[in-house]
Amino acid sequence: MDVVLVEPEIPQNTGSIGRLCAATRSPLHLVGRLGFSLDDKYMKRAGLDYWPLIELHTHSCFEDLERTLGARRRIAFSARSTTSYSRLEFREDDVLIFGGESRGLPSVLCDRLAPLYTIPIFEPGVRSLNLSNAVSIVLYEGLRQLGRV
């Protein structure tokens, strides 16, 4: 499974997700304008010295990503959805798509990638989970279903 971050904003989250992708051998795609430089010291520190182990792809826009992915299934996640990620039956070639920390996925992509999935939050005062936590939850559930953990 591949992990896609669309316009991530916080370097430490991207660094942590990079480390997760290295640990699980999952390619990481960064799409659009990033809220930081790929040389950011905070991102590098969060990813520790695992950056050489990450299969990292950058794409200037979502259309560039689409051309790279071909016909693979895209699964998008949003805190605004009502369908739990636990209803998914994951496949090896799935592409897991997450939006930036403060805005989530742009509405045009939400429409294009529907249906969207969410990780249930039980406290109404909590708007969303940390992006790196959300990616971890979903990716490891997919790996669990595929018998890899």
CATH number of the domain bearing residue 7 = 3.40.1280.10
Question: What confidence tier does 138 reach under pLDDT thresholds 50, 70, 90?
Answer: very high
Mean pLDDT taken over the chain: 94
Q: Are 59 and 30 in contact (CB under 8 A)?
A: yes
Stated pTM of the model: 0.95
79-111 pLDDT, tens digit each: 999 999 999 999 999 999 999 999 999 999 999
Domain interval for residue 105: 2-145
Phi, psi of 77 (to 5 degrees): -125, 140
Q: Residues of 47-68 as b/e, b for ≥16 C-beta within 10 angstroms?
A: beebeeebeeeebeebeebeee
Number of domains, the chain:
1
pLDDT value of residue 39: 83
Question: What confidence tier does 19 reach under pLDDT thresholds 50, 70, 90?
Answer: very high
